[in-house]
Amino acid sequence: MLMEHTMNMPPTCNTALLAWIDEAVTLCTPDRVHWCDGSDAEYQRLCDELVAHGTFTRLDPARRPNSFLARSHASDVARVEDRTFMCAQSRAEAGPTNNWADPREMKATLRGLFKGCMRGRTMYIIPFSMGPLDSPIAKIGIEITDSAYVVVNMRIMTCMGRAVLDKLGAQGTFIPCLHSVGAPLQPGQPDVPWPCEPDPQKKYIVHFPDEPSIWSYGSGYGGNALLGKKCLALRIASVVARKEGWMAEHMLILCLTSPQGTKHYICAAFPSACGKTNLAMMQPTLPGWKVTCIGDDIAWMRIGADGRLYAVNPETGFFGVAPGTSQQSNPHAMASCTRNSIFTNVALTPDGDVWWEDMGVPAPASAIDWEGKPWTPDCGRKAAHPNARFTAPAKQCPVIDPDWQNPAGVPISAILFGGRRPGTIPLVAEAFSWEHGVFMGSSAGSETTAAALGQAGILRRDPFAMLPFCGYHMGDYFAHWLSMAQRTERAKLPRVFFVNWFRKNAEGKWLWPGYGDNSRVLKWICERVDGGGKAVTTPIGNVPAPNALDVTGLQISAAALQELCSVDRERWLKEADDIAAYYATFDTHLPAALRTQLEDLRTRLAAK
Ligand code: OXD
Ligand code: MN
């Protein structure tokens, strides 16, 4: 085909890929096409171009080498869940927790939007792998984008470039991910630092799970635009995983090593703002114990040859929330972003560094805020956007686990579910069985606080922390979890626990210090896995027996410890009613085994 644009030589002879690129070029009509090779030289060149363009500000190399600040458009600051669609063949397949649109109608709408959308711009072709290239579980995606900001972020977050095309070869299959910021340029029209579609109703984050493919239009921010992360590694992967018999989960993966050198790998699923990144790379307060990090956001898990569940982190970077990250809350995240990092929507200090709220260092006397305006501590505005992010290479984390890129993954001993629950849920409870664990995950959620939303005690159920990320009917997803017990010997499955670092006393004070002291709970969990760790059985699960939690060196009263592990029957009966009402939303898709779990819970609560 004769093309009017300029293009470097396609470094592939994969016919399906070349045909798709031709189709995309014809539809989007970019001025230039660039195949990304993933090299350092390419990364540096694109960063220089972003600086020249005004999208990036280079930070002071003496303070933060090879690092940049970007400010987004004020309308483009977060994932847009209400504009995210799962276009399965039928609404029923997508289920009640997803926005659905007919795939043919949605394709027609998108073709209209993408027509000519890259005029005046460069089309970048990003070959990427989610998961180590040599892992049997890795998936190859190709993202087409007209955003250089997306390219450089994808280089940190994924295994990206030439090696991926080599792996793909002439016949390999890939997941097409088409992305545009939705801001074509007329001849002579000046560009802006952060092009995007400002009308929220014209942004579309669309998944076609049957193909599978992803089309994203109008946003350049985070999970809307870095399509390997939430779109591919969770929404599309969850659909593929169900078909292929594995699991794609919104979970951190960590390794806890005891003073004797015993290692346990643990996965944990918490909704947003519950400290997943902090737990993933925490510094234990228990002397001699060590946490190393395999991943902070996504786990792909499958049964290995020995019958155990193995987890892989499909990402190569952290895309962490900056505000609240400090030496106290997460020293290892702070160390991860000291160099080679990209900051989006944080404040710029006069000495060319970054600053955000609750960074643990005094606010600068003046700064440039995330909107590019002059800022002072008394101006009444936040300097950083609450969803400001750092993009940092995972290999820079001081406690990255030596096996973090092991293609076989790491064997999981325990799975944790958690949430922000000021009442009702104890500090930790162990499930009686796999099915009871699935029940715990399916009913997970977080309570809002008066400070945050003005409505205290409102509980938002977020099953398995997958509410925005499960690509198909949530009831069928519960069934998939249950089915794992048929794929291996039960004894080889991880133990399941519910944890709650956020329980408060009657005066509204936190009962548990959290952060590094959570290692004390992890220690008990590992003791349970190894057959020790004293527990008492309650109607809702096994909780630590008095004195079973190692609180050496911790200032905590016996009364607080007792309250933390207490189970209030009245509150739990209400909890059961609330779970029943939530389960009703899944109608006939709710697995019978979970109805039985709920009934069994009620029976245990009713028993003397
Ligand atoms: C994330 C999220 O950005 O869960 O990881 O929203
Ligand atoms: Mn996440």
Q: Given this model, what pLDDT does residue 423 score?
A: 87
Closest CA to 349 of 551, 550, 60: 60
272 CB under 6 A from ligand 1? yes
Work out the pLDDT band at 455, boundaries 50, 70, 90: low
- By percentage, how much of the chain surpasses pLDDT 70? 97
223 CB under 6 A from ligand 1? yes
Q: Tell me: pLDDT of 452 over 60.
A: no
- How much distance in Å is there from the Cα of 543 to the middle of ligand 1? 30
Closest CA to 69 of 367, 397, 430: 367
Cα 234 to Cα 228: distance, rounded to the nearest angstrom? 9
Across residues 437-453, what is the average pLDDT?
77
Q: Tell me: pLDDT of 566 over 90.
A: yes
Least confident of 123-132, 212-221, 419-428, 580-589: 419-428
Long-range contacts of the stretch 22-25 (C-beta < 8 A, 24+): 24/123, 24/144, 24/178, 25/123
- Ligand 1 atom nearest the C-alpha of 223 is 3
Work out the pLDDT band at 3, boundaries 50, 70, 90: very low
Q: Tell me if residue 477 falls in helix, strand or coil.
A: helix
- How much distance in Å is there from the Cα of 221 to the middle of ligand 2? 14
Per-chain mean pLDDT for the chain: 95
Across residues 156-178, what is the average pLDDT?
97
Closest CA to 254 of 275, 282, 233, 274: 282
Across residues 574-587, what is the average pLDDT?
97
Work out the pLDDT band at 6, boundaries 50, 70, 90: low
Work out the pLDDT band at 9, boundaries 50, 70, 90: confident
- Summarize pLDDT for 360-407 with one digit per residue, the tens: 999 999 999 999 999 999 999 999 999 999 999 999 999 999 999 999
- Residue 531: which H helix or E strand, with range? none
- Summarize pLDDT for 287-341 with one digit per residue, the tens: 999 999 999 999 999 999 999 999 999 999 999 999 999 999 999 999 999 999 9
Closest CA to 94 of 84, 107, 104: 84
Least confident of 129-138, 271-280, 566-575: 271-280
- Summarize pLDDT for 461-499 with one digit per residue, the tens: 999 999 999 999 999 999 999 999 999 999 999 999 999
Cα 548 to Cα 520: distance, rounded to the nearest angstrom? 10
Query: Which of 77, 272, 460, when mutated, tests ligand 1's pocket best, judged by the most ligand atoms within 8 Å of its CB?
Result: 272
Q: Given this model, what pLDDT does residue 273 score?
A: 74
In this structure, the residue with its CA closest to atom 4 of ligand 1 is: 272
Residues whose CB is less than 8 angstroms from the CB of residue 484 and which lie 6 or more positions away in sequence, other chains included: 247, 303, 309, 434, 493
Across residues 82-107, what is the average pLDDT?
98
Q: Tell me: pLDDT of 106 over 90.
A: yes
- Summarize pLDDT for 130-156 with one digit per residue, the tens: 999 999 999 999 999 999 999 999 999
Query: Which alpha helices (DSSP H) does 2-147 contain, by range?
Result: 15-28, 40-53, 91-94, 103-114
Across residues 580-607, what is the average pLDDT?
97
Q: Given this model, what pLDDT does residue 160 score?
A: 98
Residue in this structure with the two tokens 């090299």, named with its chain if needed: 39
- Nearest 10 degrees: CA dihedral of 17, 23, 27, 31? 60
In this structure, the residue with its CA closest to atom 5 of ligand 1 is: 297
- Nearest 10 degrees: CA dihedral of 540, 546, 547, 553? 80
What is the CB neighbour count within 10 angstroms for residue 50? Answer: 22
In this structure, the residue with its CA closest to atom 6 of ligand 1 is: 272
- How much distance in Å is there from the Cα of 250 to the middle of ligand 2? 6
Q: For the chain, how many helices (H) and strands (E)?
A: 17, 31
516 CB under 6 A from ligand 1? no
- pTM over cut 0.95: yes
Which residues is 499 bridged to in the sheet?
418, 428
Say if residue 212 is preceded by a cis peptide, omega within 30 of 0: yes
Q: Tell me: pLDDT of 163 over 70.
A: yes
Work out the pLDDT band at 53, boundaries 50, 70, 90: very high
Query: Using an 8 Å Cβ cutoff, are 148 and 52 in contact?
Result: no
Q: Given this model, what pLDDT does residue 453 score?
A: 36
Q: Tell me: pLDDT of 256 over 60.
A: yes
**Residue from 177, 274, 397, 470 carrying the catalytic annotation:** 274
Q: Tell me: pLDDT of 451 over 60.
A: no
What phi and psi, each to the nearest 5 degrees, are found at residue 509? -100, 145
Across residues 421-433, what is the average pLDDT?
95
297 CB under 6 A from ligand 1? yes
Q: Tell me: pLDDT of 450 over 50.
A: no
- Ligand nearest 250 Cα, by number? 2
Walk across the sheet containing 374-375 and list its strands. Answer: 354-355, 347-348, 367-368, 374-375
As a whole number of Å, the CA-based R_g of the chain is 24
- Residue 543: which H helix or E strand, with range? strand 541-544
Across residues 500-505, what is the average pLDDT?
94
Query: Using an 8 Å Cβ cutoff, are 443 and 582 in contact?
Result: yes
Cα 93 to Cα 82: distance, rounded to the nearest angstrom? 18
